[in-house]
A and B are shown apart, each in its own frame.
Chain A
Amino acid sequence: MTYSIEQLEQIASQVRRDILRMVHGAKSGHPGGSLGCTDLLTALYFRIMQPDASRFRMDGDGEDVFFLSNGHISPAWYSVLARYGFFPLKELATFRKLATRLQGHPTPAEGLPGIRMASGSLGQGLSAATGMAAARKLKGESRLVFCMHGDGELQEGQIWEAAMYAGAKKIDNLIAIVDYNKKQIDGPTDTVVSLGDLPLKWSAFGWHVLECKGNQMDAVVETLEKAVAATGKGQPIVVIAHTEMGSGVDFMMGTHHWHGVAPNDEQLANALTQIPETLGDYPDTY
């Protein structure tokens, strides 16, 4: 089915509520980046990729696949996966708790459907996505490979090893998305280690570069559709999405403070008043 922009916005609203409640429930986690990535992940799963959640297979043959490289935004990914139907919604209440499949950072080791690769230690996902994309070309599998990266993560050298390879070898069934919120744990990315001219860097590595507002659903969908249309033309594609860390919650925006801090009871209540419940909250207890 095709979800309208309005429907996608409703889903994203509910995902934001999930993120806040999960991180609050675990008393730990990364709400800021998760809220900033919400619209991208929602559009990707519900509109662009639309995988079959009822039959998750590791090789994903016949479907688009996704790798999350900045694993700390796991609350957003888990919520989108659950809302899409990969596993029961109530399982979101187990996030970061003992014996959960929803580990602090994602892993296939606990058998959670939808997850193909562990991430958390940063900079590794683009290589995995490139390998999957190269293998797909070999297999004659025409569906695409997507991956998502934080912007601070781009300080890792392996990202640029993979970027150089994918550009040089014309891995054109690959779409990378950069969550460009310009903040990381220690502060603004510009003061930690500036990424400089980011579009120029990717383009110098041989990538087709697209940019968009990452928290505006119509812009996200339009740009991701453009990215899909640009595949198969001899270049990998990167979408640099200008996002806001903490997007949707006034006191979490404009600061890097909420990178890895959980809201307390009062802060959660305040935040939830700012984000409409659209599809129903997941139950408090598992």
Chain B
Amino acid sequence: MFTFTEKKDTRSGFGAALLELGKENPKVVALCADLTGSLKMDAFAKAFPERFFQTGIAEAHMIGMAAGMATAGMIPFTGTFANFSTGRVYDQIRQSVAYSGKNVKICASHAGITLGEDGATHQIMEDIGLMKMLPGMTVINPCDYNQTFAATKAIAQWNGPVYLRFGRPAVPNFTPADQVFVIGKALKLTEGTDVTVFATGHLVWPALEAARMLQDQGISAEVINIHTIKPLDQEAVITSVAKTRCAVTAEEHLKNGGMGESICRFLSEARPAPVEMVAVDDRFGESGTPDALMEKYGLTAQAVMEAARKAIGRKG
């Protein structure tokens, strides 16, 4: 079973990896719309001032600029909150990045409800859906500091537009620091036979906790970390569900448009099975501490455990 020695924020994993990329690859440039500290891009900005582009509070322009820089052969990483990285600039991403096939890395912090006290204007739980809808867009949502670090390094090697989603709060850091991040390759964290739990981002650790709770109840859960939502690792999904014959999906996102929806769509075509979704119903968030919000919106280990029991009960 996995353990952790410290909690760290995923955004710091992004910032540390960006600094390393700056040292390794002169083509890497970073753009930020007045949130350098929040995105942990300050180390890169300080080390490589000529490759750091402060655009001011002008997110649409930042995305367009990144597309132009990619045209010149650079590898631009844009940074702002997830809401301002997606909904605010959707058409810019659609036309200048995705349709134009530009090698832009859209790096989004403070995703989901754990942005916390600022409330629904800044929380976004629609971003996975928005981004996965764009043809050619890769969507990645790592689970902890180490995985965000590795994912940031990996996307610099990937030719094409990427949406990298991470967050604000400190969460258990349990991914081995030397684990290689393979885009599109899901990670099986526990072996199980009774139910599969597909989790992404901040819900991966609660999914592992749920697996422990289920084990105590004599239920064997297979936890799979879907760090890459698009392209979905269909092989991993079907192999596991063929064995367990039911599943839970868990994510800090709306049910509409999320990872769970992608898995349900795939399973409905490939191998229908009962699926319970741990995600947020059709509503906006609100102010509160990250922990209180996760509790209120049912994004907890307890919720995953209960969903697993329900899914098992629905098996024919």
User: Which residues of A line the B interface, CB within 8 A?
Assistant: 58-61, 67, 107-109, 116-121, 123-136, 138-139, 141, 157-158, 161-162, 164-165, 168
- Select which of B51, B68, B76, B91 is within 8 A of A117 by beta carbon: B68
- Which residues on B sit within 8 Å (CB–CB) of A61? 73
* Cross-chain contact B65 with A108 (CB below 8 angstroms): no
* Cross-chain contact A121 with B95 (CB below 8 angstroms): yes
Give min CB distance, A9 to chain B, whole Å.
Answer: 32
> Once bound together, how far apart are the Cα atoms of A124 and B89, in whole Å?
11
> Once bound together, how far apart are the Cα atoms of A58 and B65, in whole Å?
16
A127-B61, A164-B58 known; A134 and B53 CB under 8 Å?
yes
> Once bound together, how far apart are the Cα atoms of A67 and B91, in whole Å?
18
- Select which of A124, A133, A138 is within 8 A of B92 by beta carbon: A124
Give 8 CB contacts A-B under 8 Å: A58-B71, A67-B68, A117-B67, A117-B96, A131-B67, A135-B69, A135-B72, A164-B58
Main secondary structure of the interface of A (DSSP, over half): helix
- Which residues on A sit within 8 Å (CB–CB) of B69? 131-132, 134-135
> Once bound together, how far apart are the Cα atoms of A134 and B74, in whole Å?
11
- Which residues on B sit within 8 Å (CB–CB) of A141? 72
> Once bound together, how far apart are the Cα atoms of A135 and B74, in whole Å?
7
* Cross-chain contact B60 with A157 (CB below 8 angstroms): yes
> Once bound together, how far apart are the Cα atoms of A85 and B100, in whole Å?
22
Give min CB distance, B161 to chain A, whole Å.
Answer: 12
> Once bound together, how far apart are the Cα atoms of A68 and B200, in whole Å?
40
* Cross-chain contact B68 with A135 (CB below 8 angstroms): yes
A108-B100, A109-B101, A117-B96 known; A138 and B61 CB under 8 Å?
no
Chain A proximity mask over B41-56: 1 for CB below 8 Å, otherwise 0: 0000000001101011
Query: Nearest residue in B to A108 (C-beta to C-beta)?
Result: B100
* Cross-chain contact B64 with A128 (CB below 8 angstroms): yes
* Cross-chain contact A165 with B56 (CB below 8 angstroms): yes
- Which residues on A sit within 8 Å (CB–CB) of B66? 131
* Cross-chain contact A164 with B100 (CB below 8 angstroms): no
- Select which of B55, B65, B73, B100 is within 8 A of A118 by beta carbon: B100
* Cross-chain contact A118 with B96 (CB below 8 angstroms): yes
Chain A proximity mask over B66-91: 1 for CB below 8 Å, otherwise 0: 11111111101000000000000001
- Is B29 close to A, CB under 8 A? yes
Q: A128-B67, A162-B61 are in contact. List 18 more A-B contacts (CB 8 A).
A: A59-B72, A117-B96, A121-B94, A127-B65, A130-B65, A131-B64, A131-B65, A131-B66, A131-B69, A131-B72, A131-B76, A132-B68, A134-B69, A135-B71, A138-B74, A157-B60, A161-B56, A165-B55
Query: Nearest residue in A to B94 (C-beta to C-beta)?
Result: A121
Give min CB distance, B101 to chain A, whole Å.
Answer: 6
* Cross-chain contact A128 with B65 (CB below 8 angstroms): yes
> Once bound together, how far apart are the Cα atoms of A16 and B94, in whole Å?
32
- Is B99 close to A, CB under 8 A? yes
A134-B53, A158-B64, A161-B61 known; A124 and B72 CB under 8 Å?
no
- Select which of B63, B65, B92 is within 8 A of A165 by beta carbon: B65
> Once bound together, how far apart are the Cα atoms of A161 and B66, in whole Å?
14
Q: Choose among A119, A158, A164 the residue with the greatest number of B CB atoms under 10 Å from its CB.
A: A158
* Cross-chain contact A165 with B61 (CB below 8 angstroms): yes
- Which residues on A sit within 8 Å (CB–CB) of B58? 158, 161-162, 164-165
- Which residues on B sit within 8 Å (CB–CB) of A119? 95
- Select which of B55, B68, B74, B91 is within 8 A of A128 by beta carbon: B68
Give min CB distance, B102 to chain A, whole Å.
Answer: 8
* Cross-chain contact A162 with B64 (CB below 8 angstroms): yes
- Which residues on B sit within 8 Å (CB–CB) of A58? 71, 73
- Which residues on B sit within 8 Å (CB–CB) of A125? 64
- Which residues on B sit within 8 Å (CB–CB) of A127? 60-65, 67-68, 92, 96
* Cross-chain contact B60 with A161 (CB below 8 angstroms): yes
Q: Choose among B62, B63, B71, B72 the residue with the greatest number of A CB atoms under 10 Å from its CB.
A: B72
* Cross-chain contact B29 with A135 (CB below 8 angstroms): yes
Q: Choose among B51, B95, B101 the residue with the greatest number of A CB atoms under 10 Å from its CB.
A: B95
Query: Nearest residue in B to A169 (C-beta to C-beta)?
Result: B53
Query: Nearest residue in B to A59 (C-beta to C-beta)?
Result: B73
* Cross-chain contact A117 with B74 (CB below 8 angstroms): no
> Once bound together, how far apart are the Cα atoms of A117 and B197, in whole Å?
41
* Cross-chain contact A118 with B92 (CB below 8 angstroms): no
- Which residues on A sit within 8 Å (CB–CB) of B74? 135, 138
* Cross-chain contact A158 with B71 (CB below 8 angstroms): no
Give min CB distance, B290 to chain A, whole Å.
Answer: 32
* Cross-chain contact B73 with A131 (CB below 8 angstroms): no
- Which residues on B sit within 8 Å (CB–CB) of A136? 72
Give min CB distance, A18 to chain B, whole Å.
Answer: 25
- Select which of B56, B60, B67 is within 8 A of A158 by beta carbon: B60
Chain A proximity mask over B82-119: 1 for CB below 8 Å, otherwise 0: 00000000011011100111000000000000000000
> Once bound together, how far apart are the Cα atoms of A138 and B50, in whole Å?
7
* Cross-chain contact B71 with A138 (CB below 8 angstroms): no
- Which residues on A sit within 8 Å (CB–CB) of B71? 58-59, 116-117, 128, 131-132, 135
* Cross-chain contact A117 with B29 (CB below 8 angstroms): no
Give min CB distance, B236 to chain A, whole Å.
Answer: 30
Give min CB distance, A140 to chain B, whole Å.
Answer: 11
- Which residues on B sit within 8 Å (CB–CB) of A168? 56
* Cross-chain contact A108 with B101 (CB below 8 angstroms): yes
* Cross-chain contact B61 with A158 (CB below 8 angstroms): yes
